[in-house]
Structure 1
Amino acid sequence: METVQLDLGPQTTELARVVAGIRDDQLGDPTPCAGTPVAGLLAHVAGLTTAFRMAAEKTPVSGGPSASADDLPPDWRTAIPERLDALVEAWRRPAAWEGIAEAGGVTMPAPVAAAVALDEVLVHGWDLAVATGQDYAADPASVAACTGFAAQAAAEGPTPGLFGPPVPVPDDAPPLHRLLGLTGRDPAWRPPTS
């Protein structure tokens, strides 16, 4: 059986663009991830990029990425794009796709780890974009790959810490909206207005 290798590059490039557009006065703003402000989600993204890079390199790391604003690196504006680039490069190596990988204390087949990494980048990119009033361009191939992964995860039942309960969306909704619904997000979510 041939392993389909996902390309994390298009979506990490988009996430880096979103990160560059976040203003300091938005760090405390809410996101679609209940109880997690923009700074907390940025900290989570900073951590997950490292965790999934290490998974590709077969280097175990203890614990999972934090979603605490207190853990946001002070150099996040440069650190997150650099970590995104390193994540892409790690998954472009053929050995990354072989065997077992570990991320956040969870052991899984390497191709599954890559799918989780892509899903995290894509969906949290949308979370950050919508929370900060930015447009978001989701790569169609990435959306299709993540939708397959999210649909399988939803069919297997709730996975605490991975996705919230699915949110119903119309069958004719855009592909990104269907993915967001599978991951427990309301595609119509917008930050509260004051």
Structure 2
Amino acid sequence: MFDLGSATASMSRLVTGVRDDQLGAPTPCNDWTVTQLLAHIHQFTAVFTTNARKQTARPPTTLVDDWRTSMPHDLGELAEAWRQPSAWEGRTSAGGVDMDAATNALVAVEELTVHGWDLARATGQIFSPADDELSRVDEFVTMFGGAENGPYGPAVPVPPDADRVQTVIARTGRDPGWTR
């Protein structure tokens, strides 16, 4: 069991830092704008919250009008849902893949961390994930892709002086040098 609170708090800060003039900007996510990335974040927040609660729900597919207030609230609910011991029991699904609940929480941290980096890069915000979040993303990449293939494509080479965030992001298949 681990706490998703730091990752959800970081994402909440990033979400509320998005300006209206940035909504149409590109992101490191292929062909996604900031608006589309925010909609995806809102969607997976709902999915991982209902997974923790062993419920089913239809997550939003578009960005809701009150996203600046509803998303931080929903991200807080996500963290709280995974603080319950029952969240870590049984099996659930993420992206159509059946898995045990602990692995589902690992996927949630990966989504929060990588898409947090995406959102920060696209909007010029600072992103400083906790070491344990980066370790969980490393664990996710090893579990689902191995050393050469990340969830978003082949691992991207990094220079020897790359920091830990750059190295982990590169393992996922993202270019840590991406700029808007």
Instruction: Tell me the alpha carbon deviations over residues 35-75 of structure 1, each in whole angstroms, 9 at most, x when there is no partner.
Output: 0000000000000000001111112346x874xxxx11111
Instruction: Tell me the alpha carbon deviations over residues 129-177 of structure 1, each in whole angstroms, 9 at most, x when there is no partner.
Output: 1100111111111111111211232228868xx4222212245522211
Q: What do you get for the CA RMSD once the two structures are aligned?
A: 1.9
% identical equivalent positions: 44
Q: What residue is the counterpart of 2:31 in the other structure?
A: 35
d(CA) in 1 for partners of 2:158 and 2:142? 13
Q: What residue is the counterpart of 1:143 in the other structure?
A: 134
Q: Do residues 99 (structure 1) and 90 (structure 2) align?
A: yes
Q: Do residues 75 (structure 1) and 66 (structure 2) align?
A: yes
Q: What residue is the counterpart of 1:18 in the other structure?
A: 14
The TM-score, its normalising length taken from structure 2, stands at 0.92
Contact 2:149 2:171 in 1 (8 A): no
Q: Do residues 108 (structure 1) and 104 (structure 2) align?
A: no
Which runs of structure 1 show a deviation greater than 6 angstroms over 4 or more consecutive aligned residues?
none
The TM-score, its normalising length taken from structure 1, stands at 0.86
d(CA) in 2 for partners of 1:49 and 1:158? 25
Contact 2:147 2:171 in 1 (8 A): no
Q: Do residues 176 (structure 1) and 126 (structure 2) align?
A: no
- Kindly provide the amino acid, as one letter, of the partner of residue 41 in structure 2: V
d(CA) in 2 for partners of 1:100 and 1:65? 23
Residue 89 of structure 1: SS of its match in structure 2? Answer: helix
Q: What residue is the counterpart of 1:121 in the other structure?
A: 112
Contact 1:65 1:104 in 2 (8 A): no
Instruction: Tell me the alpha carbon deviations over residues 11-46 of structure 1, each in whole angstroms, 9 at most, x when there is no partner.
Output: 111111111110011000000001000000000000
Q: What residue is the counterpart of 1:155 in the other structure?
A: 146
- Kindly provide the amino acid, as one letter, of the partner of residue 12 in structure 2: A
Displacement after TM superposition at 1:102 (Å)? 2.1
Residue 155 of structure 1: SS of its match in structure 2? Answer: coil
Structure 1: state its 5+ residue gaps: none
